[in-house]
Structure 1
Amino acid sequence: MGTTKARKPRKAPLVLSCAALAMLASSGWSHAEEAGQGSPESSVDAELGPDGIQRLTVTLDSYSYAPNRIAVRAGKPVELLLKSVTVLTPHNFVLKEGGVSIEQDVSAGETKTVRFVPVKEGQFTFYCDKQLLFFKSHREKGMEGRLDVRP
């Protein structure tokens, strides 16, 4: 009797098309979701520095801001450090209420700074208006937050 060599099954090559990459990017996959963590609503007061500027770092992730609720005082300058932790997906920070007009793009892995002086007290919505092709906008996927301007 002869011996027969067992054939090893061939491995199919992994090919990701542009459409597959786009779907992955738009799906909102992130390390937070992989770990089973959502983006719980958090509220943080901007810290007032000795120079009179209110400062806070805001993290932009796949499709969330952290914190997503920011409290500042009216009439005092605000400086937000916008830090993107995404690998592929660009985001932005849009705030067009309460006498403030900001539209700052933040590419994947970048950090940008926005400065403004809130003049009107109240609650104002900030959001990301980026959108890939025919998919929902990032705002529609929940990427928005609230700026609370206090006296």
Structure 2
Amino acid sequence: MKRTARFLIVPALLLPLVCQAAAAQENRLPPPALAATGQDGVQRIEVVGGSYFFRPSHIIVKANAPVQLKVVKESGLMPHNIVMSSPDAGMDFTVDLDDVPRVISFTPTRPGRYPFYCTEKFPLFPSHRENGMEGVIEVLP
């Protein structure tokens, strides 16, 4: 009887620790990605979109310097796009993602954090954005 009780008590004591570790892992956000500035002054970064994700999902750029986002879709049949609707900050685009990279050029004009996301949606299912396919461009002064 004591042996059976030990087998039940030990897992019961470890369960909260395992759950806490899993929750901590889930809450970790990937580090922000800083766009690399070329000798020509253009900030460049590549973004991959796929099964409800953008990688990187947090991009840092400088204001009033041109940016080129090279966007590509992870292989697969599911359609994706990247949308940013912040015209007051110089960033307003909707681009379908494809296996062949595409370049989106813009110049952010106002510091702040601006969301980008995928608007694709299948009938009767949440949108890709609602499933977490979103990110942010952080514009620094």
TM over 0.5: yes
Q: Does 1:123 align with 2:113?
A: yes
Gaps of 5+ in 1: 1-36
Amino acid in structure 2 at the alignment position of 1:103: T
RMSD of aligned alpha carbons? 1.9
Tell me if structure 2 keeps the 8 A contact 1:62–1:86.
Answer: no
Q: Which residue of 1 aligns with 2:62?
A: 73
Gaps of 5+ in 2: 1-25
Please, which of 120, 123, 128 is the counterpart of residue 133 of structure 1? 123
Please, which of 126, 147, 150 is the counterpart of residue 137 of structure 2? 147
How many residue pairs match? The answer is 114
Q: Does 1:103 align with 2:94?
A: yes
| Deviation sequence 1:44-96 (CA, Å, 0-9, x none) | 00000001100000011111000000000000000001011131111111111
Q: How far apart, in 2, do the equivalents of 1:60 and 1:42 lie?
A: 17
Q: SS of 2:91's equivalent?
A: coil
Q: Which residues in structure 2 correspond to 1:1-151 (within 5 Å)? A: 40-97=29-86, 98-107=89-98, 109-151=99-141
Q: How far is 1:40 from its partner?
A: 4.6
Amino acid in structure 2 at the alignment position of 1:55: R
Q: How does the TM-score come out when normalised to structure 2?
A: 0.75
Q: How far is 1:113 from its partner?
A: 1.1
Q: How far apart, in 2, do the equivalents of 1:50 and 1:149 lie?
A: 20
Q: How far apart, in 2, do the equivalents of 1:131 and 1:85 lie?
A: 17
Q: How far apart, in 1, do the equivalents of 2:126 and 2:62 lie?
A: 34
Tell me if structure 1 keeps the 8 A contact 2:73–2:97.
Answer: yes
Task: Give the ranges of 4+ consecutive aligned residues of structure 1 lying more than 2 Å apart after TM superposition.
Answer: 39-42
Q: How far apart, in 1, do the equivalents of 2:33 and 2:43 lie?
A: 12
Tell me if structure 1 keeps the 8 A contact 2:90–2:106.
Answer: no
